[in-house]
Amino acid sequence: MQKMPKVTIDNETYDVAEGRNLLEAILDNRLELPYFCWHPELGSVGSCRLCAVKQYRDDDDQQGRLVTSCMTPATDGARISICDPEAAEFRRSVIEWLMINHPHDCPVCDEGGECHLQDMTVMTGHAHRRYRGRKRTFKNQNLGPFIHHEMNRCIQCYRCVRFYREYSAGEDLGVFASKNHVYFGRFEEGALELPFAGNLAEVCPTGVFTDKTQHRHFTRKWDLQSAPSVCTHCGLGCNTLPASRYGTLRRVTSRYNSEVNGYWLCDRGRFGYEYVNGADRLLAPASVADNGPPPSWDASAATIAGVLGEARARGTLAGVGSPRASLEANFVLREIVGADRFSPGLAEEEHRIVTRYLEFLESTSVRCASLRDANSVDTALVLGADVTNEAPLLDLALTQACRNAACRLTLTGLRRGRLSKFAADDLCLDPDQAAFFGAAIVATLRGAPEPPEALRDSLPPGAHECISETTAALSAARRPLIVAGTSARHRGVLEAAIQVAQSLESTSDGGKQPLVSLALPEPNTLGVTMLDGGEGPGLEDLLAAVESGRISTLIVCENDLFRRCSDPERLASALAKLEALIVLDQMETATTARARWALPVAAVTESSGTFVSGEGRAQRFFQVKAPIGESRACWRVLRDLFVEGRQEGSELAREWTATHHVSTVLASAHTSFGGIDEIAPPGDFRLLGQRIPRLSVRSSGRNAMPDMVSVRQDVQPPEDDDTPFAFSMEGYQGRGPTSLLPRYWSPGWNSNEAINQCQIEVGGPLHGGDPGRRLIEPGDGRTGSDGAGLQTVGVAAVPKGTLKAVLMLCGLSEIFGSEETSRRAPAVAESMPQAYVLLNPDTAVSLGVVGDCRYGLRLGINDKVREVSLTVRVDETLPLHVAGLPAGYPETSWWQAPCWATVEILGEDKQQELEKEQP
Amino acid sequence: MLTPEERAELDEMRSHYPTVRAASVSVLKWLQKHRGHLSDESMRDAADYLGLPVAELDGLATFYNLLFRQPVGERVICLCDSISCWMCGSDRIREHIENRLRLRMGGTSADGRFTLVPVVCLGNCDRAPSMIVGDELYDDLTPEKVDEILGLSDGTNAGAHGGDHD
Amino acid sequence: MGRTPAHTGVIMTEITPVLTANIEPGRAPLDCAGYERAGGYAAVRKALGEMSPDQLLDLVKESNLRGRGGAGFPTGMKWGFVPQGDDSPNPKYLIANGDEMEPGTFKDRLLIHGDPHQIVEGMILSAYAVRAPVGYIFLRPEYERGADLLHHAIAEAEAAGYLGKNILGSGFDLELHPHVSAGRYICGEETALMNALEGRRPNPRSRPPYPAISGLFGKPTIVQNIETLSCVPHIVNNGAKWFRRLGLGDDAGTKLYCVSGKVKRPGIYELPIGVTLRELVFEHCGGMLDGLEFKAAIPGGAATMLMTPEELDTRLDFTSLDKAKNRLGTAGVIVIDDHTCIVGISLNLQSFFARESCGWCTPCRDGISWIVDILRDLEEGRGEPGDAELLMREMKMIGPNAFCALAMGAEGPMVSALEKFPEEFETHISGGGCPYERPPALPPQSN
Ligand SMILES: Cc1cc2nc3c(=O)[nH]c(=O)nc-3n(C[C@H](O)[C@H](O)[C@H](O)COP(=O)(O)O)c2cc1C
Ligand code: SF4
Ligand code: FES
């Protein structure tokens, strides 16, 4: 091991990692030094000057001189002083200067109580104001539904523009004017365009940029009740810290995980939470049959268990799990209905794609990329995916890889997007073509002199060169990454991606680590697919079984089947045939509307459990707040039904009184889930015999909570068997394991910068390791396939017809709009585009339509005709023969996979008729 | 929108710079020269032409002293207020101009003919006080000389019908 | 007003003019042919014909030429920092700094408008020494006409084969591009200048890396003042020893002293470097305006320290002023009389620095504007006991700890005013404001 540099700080000698600056060296060693402009991810720029320390030339130097520690390398033998009076005085002055124009409006500022500026002011000891003049004032801007702007509080650390422009390659936030009039904002008012703008609220060390959604139901940090959680709005598994008060969720902030999301969240993840407080949550068990007052839980459970038991006995029971329900819930459901009657609840094509992906991961030595891996790849090939909209934080990771032109990027999505500006090759291809493109690369990698003609002919001009350049780059790369998505709903694309990765792996002479990543739409898509293990029926089979009467009773857990099925009419009539449809869900959906029993279950932030992210990382989430209304954790409801039904094996379930009991059973029952019981301490974990409080020590207190009703303490906080957390401020006050960090807080550090105190090295892994465990690691000597089976699954042939145009209908992912729950959050709803059909402008012209207008469309798909009313939008980067439809929209939920369609524009009267019908 | 002629001239200018970004200030100056000031529309035109985010260009436009994002009068009077000019009476010249044009420093006369702005040292300190009007440098200023330069020698006040502006 | 400014005044005594030899007030600058007739481009012929870049570099080192832009850094030494050799980064850049926005400084104006070919020649030589194939001339917006003259001179030099590819068969290529800025003092700071040239916000960059290692577009870059560059042809023509001997004290060459303020004949004086303040003010400039006494002078533009009558015999060169804890700066000498308020002077200077702060770092951005506020309070009768100490303490904290040298420039005049004229600050506080007539007016002059 290399010798570590030693630095003497106030006469003590410390070890410092190689390549650190003095500020980092100081913070790494848990010493305190104030700073503003430095940030572990944004680097040092030396503008605030707050981090000044005394540096001495050598042992004889008594004088020393002030240096900016973040700009000074921590070299071996350096001698510095933090406490030196001159240095301390200077730092106090920096705060005094910054305070000259700061409005001191802490009482009305949303940052108050977790403000880095407050912390630093206290840390430097500046308390007395000598400035006698007037303060300058700025006009604020409306920056859209997510971020609130209050420029007077600015201390000009430039972090916002450095994050927005340099780090994230955003374009519409800038720095204007100069001297003491420097202004950070937009050229003109309007919503921020960057889908990561929410992070401004966290990088800004004061209250200039704050969370606008939180503002509507504001609570100080010290009054927030929080617990570690995992984002539910896509499959990347970003770590979050949701926080609540008085039974409502107030905000979500990022929870640091150096392997996954680092310091960041995307705006869907940050602002999608409000659906939890929404009006369309299910509040109490409901039964269609009863039609009276809502049945009690116990009565329902007994009745439903009876219905289930009967159907099981007849062999006509089936269950549908969900990629947005926990592993635990899916597992219990599977126990109830049996492995061969358990459907993971994915759309048909998606199910095939994910299953194939999983099979590949389990058999290859290609590594499934973590977000941190993606940060540092040197070549990336994105096949038929829209990274920004499907896996937002993967976009931010690739941005880092590309920022210094280090990573060579090839894009083959349907349309150009945010990452295009970094792309060396950027072809807009339909999924068939993307698959061909990948297949051609495979062929070239495997030494074919020319890609097969059939492949070449289907690609647009210029593609041939891109293929050879991309192939060359991939061959030369040390860390190539292949990305595919699920929203293209095209197996050929995934297959091609897999084969490219596999070929790279098998043709590499060592020193190369190929990586793959499949963008998954929901938090547990991979987990539920692993659980299913290919044993259960897909949705198509299930539907057929219901239609044929082989299934009479269906229990659906946290799944809206109408989002998954390409024929809603057929689905509706099939469901109507059932003797009993039992649906457990958080909110009203088209499926709950048809249920005989609709049972309310807790949201992720209201329960505990485990998700497996697209990276194959099992992560535990913990209950943040009590479930709304009468809802209960999904797995608990299912366990009760299981126990009540008294079926074989259900006696054991009596013992399952806490989440970790289920996780433990699952871990031992399924080898692929081995170890998931260990990713976080179990619910009975205690420190010094105490729980970890969800509320801060400074919380306004339990007694005060219902003080509008009574000042006595009549309500005891609920008990919680599932987690080591307490719903109170009492408990262990030290720092527990990092997987159990309910908030960032450290003496003197009230802001989120307190995370520094939890990292081994500032900006590095957390003490005790980052939470979560990768379940699928690449093995050695695994036999990869030889590419022989490479199917270029084509979309069925172009239909013949006389209508106006024949277009390939493809799905487009929208960061705001495509995901089921976040689109119910008001701020996200405000940001999402209306349901549309996207056309190339030339295609639009040939159809006789113009953009941004609503039209009635008649679509002929496989002898079926569907009439819809949609807004036509145009994008000149879209291939001419493609019509893009937004994925995950109720208006277009029948789109489940690419297909050719005849497209005709309907008359106005017809369109009005349609609009009346539409949801 | 830029006219084809405008584009052609800008193309020529851009060819002197190794990167598009490096040409930004010259492009902005050129637009200002031909359009009087840099309106939001001109800023968008420049952004469009250069292929750079408008926020970035505005970061430049609002940084430099002689790029104007607000409308200005036909003739912009840049009066030096740095040390040598100040010592030699630029304050008196300023007061004189303010009174004659009925405006305040930074303002435009009611008839829209003049805008008075302060500038830092014009590099003409040996002939203080100095000012630039339009493209011309004037020095050794006296109130009488100022009247003459501004075409106010007939003794009438410009903008006599207007009030103060900021 | 009846005083006789020296205009583009070139008043030479004792020696024959060097930098201003071709400059005649009121006459258009020499064209290429005229410049050649006056001995121009001989240095280029000589250097590119007979000397290697390293020999040229050694010659400049030996001449003891120090930068005329303010910092006085030895020019040859700076050139020596540029990495050379096959694996060194290319291209390298040379930048002529003609931003000249420091109050009291107007020497480059004379050289740009008076003898553009001399600048072009200086740049060819300097670029040759550091092997830079591209040069930029960065000009303040008010020198637009100077830019035209330079464009013209460059075209002429190109036609004559002094610029372009394979100059005079030496194998050395050079292209020059003037760039006219849009006006901002900080653009004169060399790293901010490079950001400005790249089309970025002209905030300074941190050092290291130094521009000679990584500058414009990340390539090795030498930034040199216009006057510095203009010296180089003469060094090549006449030798290092000759150049060193020009100086009266320990420094080398002649110097363009620009004098403004309350003297009889303000203007630009090319003199051997090292004249005393007394000689400059009372001999060359004809003394103070009638009715005024010498109270103080700022020797080198707004960013240097006040000198008192006791210091009149100090030589105005780098070495002597360094010794006096002052700086030669740009040699823009601002002469202050006994009717002028030192607090007023300070307020004016600090307003300049506050207004021209780029807004990047805290001490400069927020600290100097506070200084301005306190000074305005003093001037307007709102001063409080302790304000002088507050000014001193704050300014000493701001100056050395800011990101770039702009704030250090602000510190010099402020601290020296407090140290050398404490009574003026006291009277402002105790007397409820400024005792001087404001704004100041020039007294009537006899001639
Ligand atoms: C705020 C500031 C403004 C400056 N302005 C100029 C200037 O206008 N012209 C100039 O030549 N140097 C200026 N300088 C000095 C330059 O940074 C640099 O030192 C100089 O151009 C180097 O050339 P020299 O070695 O030939 O003097 C300035 C420095 C600072 C800190
Ligand atoms: S000292 Fe700081 S704010 Fe001032 S000009 Fe330099 S970098 Fe900008
Ligand atoms: S943190 Fe070091 S200067 Fe801002």
Q: What is the DSSP string of A169-200?
A: ---S-EEE--GGG-EEE-SSSS----TTGGGH
Q: Which of B81, B119, B125 to mutate to test the interface with C (most CBs of C within 10 A)?
A: B125
CB A346 within 8 Å of CB A528: yes
For position A919, what pLDDT does the model report? 55
Strands A836-839 and A882-886: antiparallel
**CA A341: distance to chain centroid?**
30
- Range list of β-strands (E), B12-113: 75-80
Query: Does A791 or A778 have the greater pLDDT score?
Result: A778
Residue burial C369-404, b: 16+ Cβ < 10 Å; e: rest: bbbbbbbbbbbeebbeeebbeebbebbebbbebbbb
Best interface-test mutation with A: which of B58, B64, B67 has the largest number of A CBs within 10 A? B58
Residues A300, A301, A307, A308, CA torsion sign: positive
- Rounded to whole angstroms, how far apart are CA atoms A473 and A725? 50
Is-contact A736 A744, C-beta < 8 A? Answer: no
**HSE-up of A565 (CA within 13 Å, CB side)?**
23
- pLDDT 10s digits, A620-632: 999 999 999 999 9
Q: Is A130 in Cβ contact with C366 (below 8 Å)? A: no
- pLDDT in the model for residue B163: 36
Per run of 10 residues, the mean pLDDT along chain B (length 166 residues) is 92 91 96 95 97 97 96 96 95 94 95 95 93 92 94 60 37
Ligand that comes closest to the CA of residue C362? 2
Residue C354 Cα to ligand 2 midpoint, Å, equals 10
Which tens digit of pLDDT belongs to each residue from A219-251? Answer: 999 999 999 999 999 999 999 999 999 899 999
Q: Which atom of ligand 3 is nearest to the CA of A52?
A: 2
pLDDT band at A911 (very low <50, low <70, confident <90, very high): confident
- The stretch A115-139 carries a mean pLDDT of 95
The answer to whether the beta carbons of residues C199 and B25 sit under 8 Å apart is yes
A75: CB partners within 8 A, 6+ apart? A5, A7
Which 8-state DSSP code applies to residue B126?
Answer: G
Whether A114 has a pLDDT exceeding 50, the answer reads yes
Give the model's pLDDT for residue A801. 46
More confident: C7 or A501: A501
A803-917 maps to CATH 2.60.40.150: no
Residue of chain C nearest A67, judged by CA positions: C401
User: Which of chain A's residues have a Cβ under 8 Å away from the Cβ of B55?
Assistant: 171-174, 186-187
Q: For residue A563, report the distance from its CA to the centre of ligand 2, in Å.
A: 57
Minimal CA separation from C356 to chain A, in Å: 7
Instruction: Answer positive or negative: Cα dihedral of A498, A499, A505, A506.
Output: positive
- pLDDT tens digit sequence for C78-100: 999 999 999 999 999 999 999 99
What local confidence, expressed as pLDDT, does residue A312 receive? 95
Biggest alpha carbon–alpha carbon distance for chain B:
52
What is the pLDDT at residue B16? 86
If one residue of C73, C138, C186, C223 were mutated to test the ligand 1 pocket, choosing by the most ligand atoms within 8 A of its CB, it would be C223
- pLDDT tens-place string over residues A454-487: 666 778 888 889 999 999 999 999 999 999 999 9
- Mutual angle of helices C422-430 and C405-420, in 10-degree steps: 80
Task: Provide φ and ψ at A210, rounded to 5°.
Answer: -130, 165
- Fill in the amino acid letter for A714: D
Q: Where are the domains of chain C?
A: 32-244, 247-337, 342-430
Which residues from C are below 8 Å from B90, CB to CB? 439
Task: For domain C342-430, give its CATH number from 1.20.1440.230, 1.10.357.10, 3.40.50.720, 3.40.47.10.
Answer: 1.20.1440.230
pLDDT band at A796 (very low <50, low <70, confident <90, very high): low
Task: Give the nearest ligand 2 atom to A179 CA.
Answer: 3
What sign for the dihedral angle of Cα C394, C400, C406, C411?
A: positive
Chain B residues 33-72 with CB within 8 Å of chain C: 59-60, 63-67
Of A676, A312, A739, which is closest to residue A530 (Cα–Cα)? Answer: A676
Lowest mean per-residue pLDDT among A313-327, A416-430, A520-534, B143-157: B143-157
C278, C316 contact by CB (below 8 A): no
- CATH, domain C247-337, list 3.30.43.10, 1.10.340.30, 3.40.1390.40, 3.10.20.600: 3.10.20.600
Report which of A31, A34, A24, A36 is spatially closest to residue A9, judged by C-alpha positions: A31
Q: Using the mean position of ligand 2's atoms as its centre, give its distance from the Cα of residue C355 in Å.
A: 11
Are the C-beta atoms of A584 and A297 separated by less than 8 Å? no
Residue from C184, C355, C362 to probe the interface with A (highest A Cβ count within 10 Å): C362
Q: What is the pLDDT of residue A705?
A: 61
pLDDT in tens, C251-277: 999 999 999 999 999 999 999 999 999
Least CA distance to C400: which residue of chain A? A66
Low-confidence stretches of chain C (pLDDT beneath 50): 1-12
Q: Give the Cα separation of A613 and A326 in Å (integer).
A: 11
Query: What per-residue confidence (pLDDT) applies to C441?
Result: 63
pLDDT above 80 for A728: yes
Among 3.30.70.100, 3.40.50.300, 3.40.50.740, 3.10.20.740, what is the CATH number of A6-99? 3.10.20.740
Averaged over A44-50, what is the pLDDT? 97
For range A612-640, the mean pLDDT:
96
Is residue A847 scored above 60 in pLDDT? yes
Give the integer Cα–Cα distance in Å for B63 and A366.
51
Is the domain spanning C32-244 CATH 3.40.50.11540? The answer is: yes
Are C226 and C240 in contact by the 8 Å Cβ rule? The answer is no
What average pLDDT does this structure show over A186-192? 97
Q: What local confidence, expressed as pLDDT, does residue A863 receive?
A: 82
Helix (H, G, I), strand (E, B) or coil at C62: helix
User: Higher pLDDT residue, A813 or A802?
Assistant: A813
* pTM of the predicted model as reported, rounded to 2 decimal places: 0.95
**Cβ–Cβ gap A172/B53 under 8 Å:** yes
Closest CA to A827 of A414, A49, A104, A217: A217
pLDDT band at A707 (very low <50, low <70, confident <90, very high): low
Confidence of residue A910 (pLDDT cuts 50, 70, 90): confident
Q: What length does chain A have?
A: 919
Range list for CATH 3.10.20.740 in chain A: 6-99
Task: Compute the radius of gyration of chain B from its Cα atoms.
Answer: 18
Interatomic CA distance for residues A449 and A171, integer angstroms: 43
